[in-house]
Amino acid sequence: MTYFDDLFSAHQHLFAHYNDLAVRLSDEQLKVQSLCPDWDVRGVITHAIGAEFWVTGWQPSATERPSFERMAEFEARARGASRAEFARLVADVTATRLEELSQLTPDVLELPALTPAGLATYGRMLRIRVFDLWVHTRDIALPLGESLDDSGLAAELVLDEVSDALGYVVGKLIGLPDSMSVAFRIRGAVERDILLRVDGRAKQVAHLDSPDVELSTDVATFVMLAAGRVNAQAQIDSGKVSCSGDPYWAKATALNLAYTP
């Protein structure tokens, strides 16, 4: 598979999940408070799918973002919809967006585009959308007590997105000193070692003989920590996150992974 195929398949998988949520969840479940303070479950679905409505029809641009009026339009339509109407609205948006993506060619990934992370490429924009959709499924599932499969292409792409931010996280948010290093050991449904050394600035390296800090966890916990959705100390106390190495910097690493608002 090409990288474009990976992105398309991840969207297809996540859209199917949102379609299922909109059909399956009861009115009571849709009113459950999500991990996002401002939204209940229905509000999270509205936001996540509204963002897809927002970018549908947008031509990648280095100077113009999609019109935010489209997001407001979708939210207004969703606000007054019955549960059945809401499910149809979600399905219509995901089907339209997926059809649009299916008509694109891989070269579109290299086009410059404004993204939530600044000026990048349309491929980065699509990966950020996978990240957003994936995280929001956990914003819903955790309060509802539902289990999700953390394996697959979407999880790998989401971990790629977080991995690319770790230089900033380690260098700026954690503030690991020069010449020190950290190894993130992701285990379980997705397995990956992400290694960084600070040499003027924090950057990924291919090999570390003896990292100063090691943090081990599963992909969902790691991503939800990076997204600021779950309490870091609670994850340590529960055993989902384990730290070793320099005591001060190990704890600082675990407690300062959140980089998204």
Whichever domain contains 62, its CATH number is: 1.20.120.450
Domain boundary (148, 165, 200) is at 148
- Does residue 209 surpass a pLDDT of 90? yes
Residues 158-173 have pLDDT tens digits of: 999 999 999 999 999 9
Looking at residues 136-154, what average pLDDT do you find?
A: 97
Same-domain check for residues 79 and 171 = no
Looking at residues 234-253, what average pLDDT do you find?
A: 98
Residues 180-189 have pLDDT tens digits of: 999 999 999 9
> Does residue 194 sit in helix, strand or coil?
strand
Whichever domain contains 233, its CATH number is: 3.30.1050.10
Same-domain check for residues 86 and 44 = yes
> Would you tell me how many other CB atoms lie within 10 Å of the CB of residue 117?
15
Contact present, 223 and 144 (Cβ < 8 Å) = no
Contact present, 212 and 179 (Cβ < 8 Å) = no
List strand residue ranges (DSSP E) for 189-245, in order: 192-199, 201-204, 213-217, 242-245
Which residue range forms the structural domain that includes residue 199? Answer: 156-255
Residues 82-95 have pLDDT tens digits of: 999 999 999 999 99
**pLDDT-based confidence at residue 68 (cuts at 50, 70, 90):** confident
- The reported pLDDT for the residue numbered 66 is 92
pTM, two decimals, is 0.97
